[in-house]
């Protein structure tokens, strides 16, 4: 049996870089890289839904992590597997062991229509992930129930065979006794 690497899907709506040219109250860069580092050291494959730093990283490279621990944050950023918004919204998610949500609340940005300027899909992403996990749980429970039903049916078949065998034996005995 091939052992599968443990996987975590960490959903956040923040930045890991210094957000060059972006005004955001996000504080993710101060703590999330260390969470990811710990997960990676403990053998987890780390997935994130959206790479909000992609534009800065493409434009500035490693320098967009200059404010502190540049090398470490750069290395961690490059070890993350970004799934992409389209894959999340379409349910194309990897096999995961843990879903970690930085909880999102309804905001003025997430209330906007999806194509409106300033729209934030963070709440929609969270809802999709929760529904996806609920679906997986239901499938697992269904599979467990099906296995139980299968075992019950197998027992019933075995009991039916035993019963038929006893009936056959007894009917032979009855025939012998009648003769």
DSSP secondary structure code for residue 81 in this structure:
E
Residue with the larger pLDDT of the pair 38 and 96 = 38
Query: Number of folded domains in the chain?
Result: 1
pLDDT exceeds cutoff 60 at 2: yes
Among candidate residues 47, 34, 39, the one with its CA nearest the CA of residue 73: 34
**51 in any annotated domain:** yes
pLDDT exceeds cutoff 90 at 5: no
Q: What is the pLDDT of residues 132-178, one digit of tens each?
A: 877 777 776 766 666 666 676 677 777 767 766 666 666 555 555 55
**64 in any annotated domain:** yes
Residue 152, pLDDT score: 67
Residue 32, pLDDT score: 86
**Sign for the pseudo-dihedral over CA of 81, 6, 43, 2:** negative
> Cα separations (Å) of 34 from 3, 62, 63?
26, 17, 19
Q: What is the pLDDT of residues 28-85, one digit of tens each?
A: 778 888 899 999 999 999 999 889 889 889 999 999 888 888 899 999 999 999 988 7
**74 in any annotated domain:** yes
Residue 146, pLDDT score: 63
> Cα separations (Å) of 50 from 86, 101, 139, 154?
9, 13, 26, 47
**162 in any annotated domain:** no
**178 in any annotated domain:** no
Residue 143, pLDDT score: 67
**Cβ neighbours of 18 (radius 10 Å):** 19
What residues make up the domain containing 61?
6-102
**146 in any annotated domain:** no
**24 in any annotated domain:** yes
Among candidate residues 90, 86, 102, 73, the one with its CA nearest the CA of residue 8: 102
Residue 128, pLDDT score: 83
Structural tokens at position 157: 């078949």
**166 in any annotated domain:** no
pLDDT exceeds cutoff 80 at 11: yes
């Amino acid at each position: 049996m091939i052992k599968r690497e443990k996987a975590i899907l960490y959903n956040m709506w923040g930045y890991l870089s210094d957000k060059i040219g972006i005004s955001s109250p996000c504080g993710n860069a101060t703590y999330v890289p260390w969470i990811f580092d710990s997960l990676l050291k403990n053998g987890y494959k780390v997935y994130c839904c959206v790479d909000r730093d992609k534009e800065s990283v493409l434009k500035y490279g490693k320098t967009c992590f200059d404010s502190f621990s540049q090398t470490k944050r750069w290395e961690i950023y490059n070890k993350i597997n970004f799934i992409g918004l389209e894959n999340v919204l379409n349910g194309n998610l990897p096999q995961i062991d843990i879903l970690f949500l930085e909880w999102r609340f309804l905001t003025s940005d997430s209330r906007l229509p999806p194509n409106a300027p300033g729209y934030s899909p963070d709440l929609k992403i969270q809802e999709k992930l929760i529904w996806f996990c609920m679906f997986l749980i239901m499938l697992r429970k269904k599979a467990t129930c099906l296995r139980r039903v299968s075992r019950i049916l197998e027992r019933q078949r075995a009991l039916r065979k035993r019963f038929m065998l006893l009936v056959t034996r007894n009917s032979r005995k009855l025939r012998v006794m009648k003769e």
